[in-house]
Amino acid sequence: MTQFCPVTYFRIHVEEAEAHNGVDLIFDNILRRDRGNYTCSANVDGEEVSKSFQLFVDNKPLWNDDKTKAYSYVDGSVNLTCEVKAEPEANFTWTKDDSVIYPSEITQIFNDNNTSILQLKVTEQRMFGDYLCIAQNKLGTLERVIILQQGQKPAIPTAKRSWLRTMVVWCNISKMLVWLLHSLHLDRQTLKDHSEDLQDAKEPRLAAQKIKEKKQTWEVE
Protein backbone atom coordinates (compact mmCIF):
# COMPACT_ATOMS: atom_id res chain seq x y z
CA MET A 1 0.00 0.00 0.00
CA THR A 2 1.40 3.35 -1.03
CA GLN A 3 1.47 6.12 1.60
CA PHE A 4 1.63 9.79 0.75
CA CYS A 5 3.28 12.29 3.03
CA PRO A 6 1.27 15.48 3.56
CA VAL A 7 2.70 18.52 1.82
CA THR A 8 2.59 21.85 3.63
CA TYR A 9 2.15 24.81 1.30
CA PHE A 10 3.69 28.14 2.09
CA ARG A 11 2.79 31.22 0.10
CA ILE A 12 6.41 32.34 0.37
CA HIS A 13 8.79 29.44 -0.16
CA VAL A 14 12.13 28.39 -1.63
CA GLU A 15 12.50 26.30 -4.80
CA GLU A 16 15.52 24.90 -6.55
CA ALA A 17 16.48 27.17 -9.39
CA GLU A 18 16.24 25.88 -12.96
CA ALA A 19 18.18 28.61 -14.76
CA HIS A 20 21.18 28.73 -12.40
CA ASN A 21 22.85 26.94 -9.54
CA GLY A 22 21.10 27.79 -6.30
CA VAL A 23 17.57 28.46 -5.15
CA ASP A 24 14.82 30.98 -5.80
CA LEU A 25 12.60 32.67 -3.24
CA ILE A 26 9.05 32.38 -4.56
CA PHE A 27 6.17 34.71 -3.63
CA ASP A 28 2.70 33.46 -4.58
CA ASN A 29 -0.06 36.10 -4.53
CA ILE A 30 2.25 38.80 -3.25
CA LEU A 31 0.85 41.21 -0.62
CA ARG A 32 1.73 44.72 0.55
CA ARG A 33 3.08 43.36 3.81
CA ASP A 34 5.68 41.29 1.93
CA ARG A 35 7.74 44.36 1.18
CA GLY A 36 11.00 44.69 3.08
CA ASN A 37 14.60 43.43 3.21
CA TYR A 38 15.51 39.79 2.49
CA THR A 39 18.89 38.04 2.86
CA CYS A 40 20.08 34.77 1.32
CA SER A 41 23.01 33.01 3.01
CA ALA A 42 24.99 30.00 1.76
CA ASN A 43 28.17 28.09 2.45
CA VAL A 44 30.44 28.06 -0.59
CA ASP A 45 33.66 26.02 -0.33
CA GLY A 46 33.59 26.39 3.43
CA GLU A 47 33.02 30.12 3.34
CA GLU A 48 29.82 31.84 4.44
CA VAL A 49 28.47 34.22 1.80
CA SER A 50 25.27 36.22 1.73
CA LYS A 51 23.32 38.53 -0.52
CA SER A 52 20.54 40.96 0.43
CA PHE A 53 17.83 42.62 -1.57
CA GLN A 54 14.93 44.96 -0.88
CA LEU A 55 11.47 44.11 -2.13
CA PHE A 56 9.10 46.91 -3.11
CA VAL A 57 5.43 46.11 -3.62
CA ASP A 58 3.65 48.59 -5.85
CA ASN A 59 -0.01 49.25 -5.12
CA LYS A 60 -2.65 51.76 -6.06
CA PRO A 61 -3.69 54.38 -3.48
CA LEU A 62 -5.85 53.16 -0.59
CA TRP A 63 -7.36 55.41 2.08
CA ASN A 64 -5.52 55.46 5.39
CA ASP A 65 -8.15 57.55 7.22
CA ASP A 66 -11.89 58.27 7.12
CA LYS A 67 -12.00 62.06 7.46
CA THR A 68 -14.84 63.55 5.42
CA LYS A 69 -15.84 66.62 7.47
CA ALA A 70 -14.12 69.66 8.94
CA TYR A 71 -15.33 72.81 10.71
CA SER A 72 -14.22 76.43 10.82
CA TYR A 73 -15.61 79.98 10.89
CA VAL A 74 -15.05 83.24 9.02
CA ASP A 75 -11.66 84.73 10.03
CA GLY A 76 -10.60 81.30 11.32
CA SER A 77 -8.25 78.69 9.86
CA VAL A 78 -8.53 74.95 9.23
CA ASN A 79 -6.53 71.98 7.92
CA LEU A 80 -8.10 69.48 5.50
CA THR A 81 -6.13 66.22 5.40
CA CYS A 82 -5.89 63.34 2.92
CA GLU A 83 -3.82 60.29 3.88
CA VAL A 84 -3.34 57.19 1.72
CA LYS A 85 -1.27 54.03 1.43
CA ALA A 86 0.42 53.89 -1.98
CA GLU A 87 3.59 52.61 -3.66
CA PRO A 88 5.01 54.46 -5.47
CA GLU A 89 4.10 57.53 -3.45
CA ALA A 90 0.91 59.28 -4.51
CA ASN A 91 0.60 62.73 -6.05
CA PHE A 92 -2.19 64.91 -4.69
CA THR A 93 -4.50 67.49 -6.24
CA TRP A 94 -7.10 69.63 -4.43
CA THR A 95 -10.09 71.18 -6.18
CA LYS A 96 -13.20 73.18 -5.26
CA ASP A 97 -16.08 73.84 -7.64
CA ASP A 98 -14.10 72.07 -10.41
CA SER A 99 -11.17 74.49 -10.03
CA VAL A 100 -7.70 73.34 -8.99
CA ILE A 101 -6.44 74.92 -5.76
CA TYR A 102 -2.92 76.38 -5.79
CA PRO A 103 -0.88 77.91 -2.93
CA SER A 104 -1.76 81.55 -2.25
CA GLU A 105 -2.05 84.04 0.60
CA ILE A 106 -5.03 82.15 2.02
CA THR A 107 -4.21 78.56 0.95
CA GLN A 108 -1.16 76.40 1.62
CA ILE A 109 -0.59 72.78 0.56
CA PHE A 110 1.83 70.43 2.34
CA ASN A 111 2.58 67.04 0.75
CA ASP A 112 4.78 64.43 2.40
CA ASN A 113 4.87 60.64 2.70
CA ASN A 114 1.47 59.90 1.15
CA THR A 115 -0.22 62.66 3.14
CA SER A 116 -1.56 65.98 1.85
CA ILE A 117 -2.73 68.87 4.05
CA LEU A 118 -4.72 71.77 2.61
CA GLN A 119 -4.43 74.69 5.02
CA LEU A 120 -7.08 77.38 4.60
CA LYS A 121 -7.57 80.84 6.05
CA VAL A 122 -11.33 81.25 5.91
CA THR A 123 -11.86 84.85 4.84
CA GLU A 124 -15.42 84.69 3.50
CA GLN A 125 -18.61 82.66 3.52
CA ARG A 126 -18.15 81.11 0.07
CA MET A 127 -15.08 79.19 1.24
CA PHE A 128 -17.36 76.70 3.00
CA GLY A 129 -18.45 73.71 0.95
CA ASP A 130 -17.05 70.62 -0.80
CA TYR A 131 -13.32 70.13 -1.35
CA LEU A 132 -12.16 67.26 -3.56
CA CYS A 133 -8.91 65.48 -2.73
CA ILE A 134 -7.38 63.40 -5.56
CA ALA A 135 -4.56 60.90 -4.86
CA GLN A 136 -2.91 59.28 -7.86
CA ASN A 137 0.03 57.08 -8.85
CA LYS A 138 0.79 54.92 -11.90
CA LEU A 139 -1.49 52.14 -10.65
CA GLY A 140 -4.66 54.07 -9.91
CA THR A 141 -6.54 57.13 -8.73
CA LEU A 142 -8.54 57.76 -5.56
CA GLU A 143 -10.95 60.63 -4.87
CA ARG A 144 -12.68 61.87 -1.74
CA VAL A 145 -14.89 64.85 -0.92
CA ILE A 146 -14.20 66.63 2.38
CA ILE A 147 -17.01 68.97 3.47
CA LEU A 148 -15.96 72.18 5.21
CA GLN A 149 -18.87 73.29 7.39
CA GLN A 150 -19.36 76.52 9.28
CA GLY A 151 -19.04 76.17 13.03
CA GLN A 152 -19.32 78.52 15.97
CA LYS A 153 -16.48 80.91 16.69
CA PRO A 154 -15.08 80.15 20.16
CA ALA A 155 -16.31 82.59 22.79
CA ILE A 156 -13.77 84.91 24.40
CA PRO A 157 -13.39 83.89 28.04
CA THR A 158 -14.30 86.62 30.55
CA ALA A 159 -12.49 87.08 33.82
CA LYS A 160 -14.81 86.87 36.83
CA ARG A 161 -13.89 87.81 40.36
CA SER A 162 -14.76 84.88 42.53
CA TRP A 163 -14.00 83.25 45.82
CA LEU A 164 -11.81 80.77 43.91
CA ARG A 165 -9.50 83.61 42.90
CA THR A 166 -9.41 84.76 46.51
CA MET A 167 -8.45 81.28 47.61
CA VAL A 168 -5.58 81.27 45.10
CA VAL A 169 -4.36 84.55 46.52
CA TRP A 170 -4.74 83.12 50.02
CA CYS A 171 -2.50 80.19 49.09
CA ASN A 172 0.15 82.48 47.60
CA ILE A 173 0.56 84.88 50.51
CA SER A 174 3.03 84.21 53.28
CA LYS A 175 2.25 82.21 56.42
CA MET A 176 2.80 85.35 58.47
CA LEU A 177 0.13 87.25 56.56
CA VAL A 178 -2.32 84.40 57.02
CA TRP A 179 -1.71 84.43 60.75
CA LEU A 180 -2.10 88.23 60.87
CA LEU A 181 -5.40 88.14 59.00
CA HIS A 182 -6.79 85.67 61.50
CA SER A 183 -5.46 87.56 64.48
CA LEU A 184 -7.06 90.79 63.24
CA HIS A 185 -10.41 89.00 62.83
CA LEU A 186 -10.81 89.84 59.14
CA ASP A 187 -13.81 88.02 57.70
CA ARG A 188 -14.06 86.23 54.34
CA GLN A 189 -15.76 89.14 52.55
CA THR A 190 -13.04 91.56 53.61
CA LEU A 191 -10.40 89.17 52.36
CA LYS A 192 -12.28 88.82 49.07
CA ASP A 193 -12.60 92.62 48.64
CA HIS A 194 -8.85 93.12 49.14
CA SER A 195 -7.48 90.09 47.33
CA GLU A 196 -5.43 92.25 44.93
CA ASP A 197 -3.87 94.16 47.83
CA LEU A 198 -2.87 90.91 49.47
CA GLN A 199 -1.46 89.47 46.26
CA ASP A 200 0.88 92.46 45.75
CA ALA A 201 1.83 92.84 49.42
CA LYS A 202 5.57 92.90 50.15
CA GLU A 203 5.18 93.72 53.87
CA PRO A 204 2.58 91.28 55.28
CA ARG A 205 2.18 93.02 58.64
CA LEU A 206 1.61 96.46 57.13
CA ALA A 207 -0.75 95.09 54.46
CA ALA A 208 -2.92 93.36 57.04
CA GLN A 209 -3.00 96.42 59.32
CA LYS A 210 -3.90 98.68 56.41
CA ILE A 211 -6.84 96.47 55.48
CA LYS A 212 -8.08 96.44 59.06
CA GLU A 213 -7.89 100.25 59.27
CA LYS A 214 -9.90 100.59 56.07
CA LYS A 215 -12.52 98.21 57.43
CA GLN A 216 -12.77 100.18 60.69
CA THR A 217 -13.13 103.45 58.78
CA TRP A 218 -16.00 102.03 56.74
CA GLU A 219 -17.74 100.80 59.87
CA VAL A 220 -17.49 104.28 61.52
CA GLU A 221 -18.90 105.93 58.43
Mean pLDDT of the 71-89 span: 95
- The percent helix, strand, coil of the chain (3-state, each to 5) is 25, 40, 35
pLDDT score, position 205: 60
Q: Does residue 141 surpass a pLDDT of 70? A: yes
Q: Which domains, ranges and CATH numbers included, belong to the chain?
A: 12-55 (no CATH), 60-150 (2.60.40.10), 163-220 (no CATH)
Residue 104 has pLDDT above 90, yes or no: yes
Q: Under a CB-based contact definition with an 8 Å cutoff, are residues 63 and 55 in contact?
A: no
Q: What is the pTM of this model?
A: 0.57
Exposed e or buried b for every residue in 192-214, given b needs 16+ CB within 10 A?
bbbbeebeebeebeebbeebbee
Parallel, antiparallel or unpaired: strands 69-72 and 140-150 = parallel
Task: Tell me the pLDDT of the chain averaged across its residues.
Answer: 79
